[in-house]
Amino acid sequence: MRCCGVTGGPGCTCRRRLAQVITGSVRRVAVLDRVLHGARLYDLSRRTIGASNEMRRLVGDVVRPTEGTRMLDFGCGNGRLVPFLPNLDYVGVDNNPSYIEQATATHGSDQVRFVCADVKDLPSLGFGEFDVVVSLGVLHHLSDEVAETAVTAVLQQLTPQGRLITMDPCFHPEQASLARVLMAMDRGRYVRHPEDYRRLVERCNGVVTQQIWHDVYKFPYTHCVQVVVRG
């Protein structure tokens, strides 16, 4: 695209075109956000992209739960993680009633419970401490301020040797060009670089180790996986 030569001026076609692209992207993301707010369409989208591979790898390589583990799934969605877990004490929390309704109907049992609540409500729920807290695809929807509040609250729910495990899309210098484009179009407004996710957790007194995954979906996409313990 050639510049009109009126750089910075109101008549610059480059600026007008850029504004149109940005406005169109914002509108598409807003529509996608409304669509995926429904549990059934969200579930369909997860199956379409091959998210079962993501869950299987996360549980087997990172979470590694054993029978009897107490797990909190913060931002549990429709209970997508439950089919990949062994027999354990599981609590899923999400602030979307549609997700919780479907999760309870599909996976609910005496040992698998779902609660519609926000992160600020965690201490008052009375579930006690957990060996593992997982938070998958949550942080990139939260501003730094809100994310720090969430991480701080979640870390307080851990046993002394407990772990917080997060996974979110990230920008990375080694990712494919298509992955970078998809990151920019993600409905989460706060996709970060790995070092920014690290600094966020460290500000909450967490000690972090990270893995970068480029290959869990059916198309190029980059995830930052963090294992966090209390400092």
| pLDDT tens-digit map of 174-211 | 999 989 988 888 889 999 999 999 999 999 999 999 99
**Would strands 223-230 and 206-213 be described as parallel, antiparallel, or unpaired?**
antiparallel
What span, in angstroms and rounded, lies between the C-alpha atoms of 124 and 142? 22
Residues paired with residue 213 on neighbouring β-strands, in sequence order: 223
Q: How high is the pLDDT of residue 43?
A: 53
CATH topology of domain 13-230: Rossmann fold (3.40.50)
Instruction: Average the pLDDT over 212-223 and give the result.
Output: 89
Phi, psi angles (nearest 5°) of residue 10? -65, -20
Q: How far apart are CA 75 and CA 34, in angstroms?
A: 17
Residues 140-146: contacts with CB under 8 Å, at least 24 apart: 140/168, 140/169, 140/170, 140/186, 140/188, 140/189, 140/190, 140/191, 140/192, 141/187, 141/188, 141/189, 141/190, 142/190, 143/189, 143/190, 144/190, 144/200
The pTM (predicted TM-score) of the whole model is: 0.78
First and final CA of the chain: distance in angstroms? 51
**SS3 of residue 156 by DSSP:** coil
Burial of 21: CB neighbours in 10 Å, binned 0-12, 13-18, 19+: exposed
How does pLDDT run across 135-157, given as a tens digit for each residue?
999 999 999 999 999 999 999 99
| Residues 6+ positions from 15 with CB-CB distance below 8 Å | 8
